[in-house]
Homo-oligomer: A and B are copies of this chain.
Amino acid sequence: MGLNSDDMEQLEDIVKCSRPLHRGDYLFRNGDKFRSLFIIKTGSVKTYTPREDGTERIIGFYLPGEIVGLDAIQQAEHICSAKVLETCATCEIPFRRLEDLASHLPSLQHQMYRLLSREIGYDTEMLMLLGKKSAEERLAAFLLSVSNSFKRRGLSATEFYLSMSRHEISSYLGLAVETISRIFTRFQEENLIQVERKYVHLLNLKRLEDIVLGIHIRSVHQNIEEPLHNEEPLHNIENSLRD
């Protein structure tokens, strides 16, 4: 991360690790004054804003290692709500104190910029996804981004539970629930994945990647391959921390 142990200690001093939060708890709500960033240690969180029709529009999902709240610095208040999906351990970093500390620690400073810039990069990725990609491409990209997030945490990249509902996935990807459901079964029929409710087993990463890239071969069974190095739309702090 580019910080020495002394710097690190100072950083740890300002970080508050809160008691576990449970499903449905809020990290913050739309309109709350911005005070802190939150690092997800375990569990998962969704962020969303209300839509005109009262339903919620999912902005993002946050898995362990990821950081929530970066959108609020400018407005000084949160522009979305962050709600716990699965019991979470989180660390809260008071932004004001982080800012002060960073001004004395150039390397922390630099990390902060990278963190923010990375968030922009992820958003840009997501923009590409929503801009012109098909439903299949979107769901494949989503599954791979979750997969990569788990892999980074040292967990299985191919077998995992999704903490979010079909409805939440559909909102995140800008599709209808029914479409998500249909594509899950279609992927299953093509032996790309195996699903049972929230449990997902990715059987053919290579093909899923090809789908994201827009390469669509009609139900040809291909071999499972390579670890791959693909960028993920989820907002991870990990890579930025180790430098």
Contact = CB atoms under 8 A, between A and B. Distances in A.
B127 A123 contact: yes
Interface in A29-53: 49, 51-53
Contacts of A156: none
Contacts of A130: 127, 130-131, 174
A232 to B, nearest CB: 14
B121 A120 contact: no
A114 B110 CA distance: 15
Contacts of A173: 131
A126 interface: yes
A240 interface: yes
Interface string A47-71: 0010111000101000000000011
A31 to B, nearest CB: 14
A121 B213 contact: no
Given A103-B109, A109-B99, A74 B127 contact: no
A interface, over-half SS: helix
Contacts of A171: 131
A94 to B, nearest CB: 14
A73 B117 contact: yes
A72 interface: yes
Nearest to A69: B117
Given A57-B132, A109-B103, A127-B126, A121 B71 contact: yes
B131 A74 contact: no
Contact of A127 (B110, B127, B213): B127
A85 to B, nearest CB: 19
Contacts of A123: 120, 123-124, 126-127
Contacts of A121: 71, 74-75, 79
A134 B75 CA distance: 27
13 contacts: A52-B214, A57-B128, A59-B124, A71-B120, A73-B117, A74-B115, A74-B120, A79-B124, A103-B103, A116-B117, A119-B120, A130-B131, A132-B174
Interface of A: 49, 51-53, 57, 59, 70-75, 79-80, 99, 102-103, 106, 109-110, 112-121, 123-124, 126-128, 130-132, 171, 173-174, 213-214, 240
Q: Which 3 A-B pairs have the closest CB atoms?
A: A73-B117, A123-B123, A131-B174
